[in-house]
């Protein structure tokens, strides 16, 4: 995923720079364009086009118009709320972009974006995930309201710090929507290390029951080193009594596939003593957020 994000960023920097040079001044970009400039995954579904460049101005600012450009006014802009990419290109701060996009994406994708922003900012700024979470929470308390603020508050209730990819977010949200307990994220497995003496972690875990879920993207099949590392980890975990469930994109493709995945993991947890109320029909994530409150 990191390679894909880097390639996308390189291309979008080029396009944004050409646009700014044509305009003759620095340009602030927002929405999906800002995410791409900051190597943050773009939501799968959005009612705004990824194929255009999205620019941002304050209410009193002059909109930049042109072919393949879409201009947006952002009332919540604060002084210095941007990342300087080069002398021509500026990306709106990721927390602002999260709020900007909130009315344009389905609720699940907003939760996924919440996790992606926390991961990106905690990796780049030196803050930990909890600091970024607190910053996002504080941002929602500022006096100027925006469309989507209610969903942002609910999304924060279902986010988990440390998520490494959007598909990991979709996996734990699927499981929880069917009633499974909150998993540990990127959990360190006690007493188990790679041959290199690096501590072993799993994507999602219920340590007491020794059940783990690992998401396998395309890179797990195409990268030989990654594949061997995965095999070593899973064989070692299983030899220590762990159940390791492998998830792919096919397991998340539709409601039936998601329900089947949730049932499979639920059976393993139940057999090992976990107690929870499993539901064949998935609960809506907004209902889950209202019912459970913050899970992190």
Match 């986010």 to its residue by tokens. Answer: 159
| Model confidence at 240: pLDDT above 70 | yes
Query: Which has more pLDDT, 62 or 146?
Result: 146
Q: What is the pLDDT of residue 111?
A: 98
| Model confidence at 125: pLDDT above 70 | no
Cβ atoms of 38 and 83 within 8 Å: the answer is yes
Cβ atoms of 245 and 214 within 8 Å: the answer is yes
Q: What is the pLDDT of residue 230?
A: 85
Q: What is the pLDDT of residue 218?
A: 63
Distance of alpha carbon 266 from alpha carbon 181, whole angstroms:
9
The mean pLDDT value for 71-90 works out to: 94
147-199: per-residue pLDDT in tens? 999 999 999 999 998 898 999 999 999 999 999 999 999 989 888 777 778 88
> Helix crossing, 94-101 with 149-157: angle to 10°?
110
Cβ atoms of 31 and 93 within 8 Å: the answer is no
161-171: per-residue pLDDT in tens? 889 899 999 99
Among the residues of the chain, which ranges form H helices? 2-23, 31-37, 94-101, 107-125, 129-139, 149-157, 166-177, 219-222, 224-239, 255-271, 285-292
The mean pLDDT value for 5-34 works out to: 96
Distance of alpha carbon 216 from alpha carbon 5, whole angstroms:
18
> From 3.30.70.260, 3.40.50.300, 3.75.10.10, 3.40.960.10, which CATH number describes the 166-292 domain?
3.40.960.10
Write the burial class of residue 270 (CB in 10 Å: 0-12 exposed, 13-18 middle, 19+ buried).
Answer: middle
Distance of alpha carbon 183 from alpha carbon 166, whole angstroms:
16
Q: For CA atoms 201, 206, 210, 214, give the dihedral sign.
A: negative
Distances (CA, A) of 222 to 203, 219, 230: 19, 5, 12
Least confident of 21-25, 37-41, 104-108, 223-227: 223-227
Percent of the chain with pLDDT strictly greater than 70:
97
| Model confidence at 97: pLDDT above 90 | yes
Q: What is the pLDDT of residue 222?
A: 59
Cβ contacts of 206 within 8 Å, gap of 6 or more: 181, 183, 184, 212, 269, 274
DSSP structural state of residue 41: P
CA 285 remoteness from chain centre: 15
Least confident of 70-74, 117-121, 125-129, 264-268: 125-129
Structural domain boundaries of the chain?
A: 2-157, 166-292
């Amino acid at each position: 995923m990191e390679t894909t994000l880097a390639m996308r960023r390189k291309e979008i920097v080029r396009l944004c720079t050409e646009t700014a040079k044509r305009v003759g001044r620095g340009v602030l970009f927002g929405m999906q364009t800002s995410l791409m400039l900051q190597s943050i995954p773009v939501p799968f579904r959005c009612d705004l086009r990824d194929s255009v460049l999205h620019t941002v101005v304050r209410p009193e600012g002059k909109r930049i118009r042109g072919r393949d450009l879409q201009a947006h006014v952002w009332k919540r802009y604060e002084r210095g709320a941007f990342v300087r990419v080069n002398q021509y290109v500026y990306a709106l701060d990721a927390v602002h972009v999260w709020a900007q996009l909130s009315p344009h994406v389905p609720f699940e994708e907003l939760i996924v974006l919440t996790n992606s922003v926390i991961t990106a900012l905690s990796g780049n700024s030196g803050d930990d995930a909890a600091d970024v979470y607190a910053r996002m929470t504080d941002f929602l308390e500022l006096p100027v309201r925006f469309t989507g603020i209610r969903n942002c508050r609910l999304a924060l209730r279902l986010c988990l710090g440390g998520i490494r990819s959007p598909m990991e977010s979709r996996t734990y949200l699927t499981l929880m929507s069917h009633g499974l307990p909150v998993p540990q994220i990127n959990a360190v497995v006690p007493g188990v290390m790679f041959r290199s003496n690096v501590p072993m972690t799993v994507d999602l875990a219920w340590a007491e029951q020794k059940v783990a879920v690992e998401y396998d993207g395309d890179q797990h099949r195409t990268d030989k080193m990654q594949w061997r590392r995965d095999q070593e980890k899973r064989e070692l975990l299983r030899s220590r009594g762990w159940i390791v469930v492998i998830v792919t994109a096919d397991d998340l493709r539709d409601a039936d596939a998601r329900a089947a995945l949730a049932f499979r993991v639920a059976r393993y947890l139940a057999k090992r003593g976990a107690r929870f109320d499993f539901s064949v029909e998935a609960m809506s994530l907004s209902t889950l957020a209202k019912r459970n409150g913050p899970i992190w």
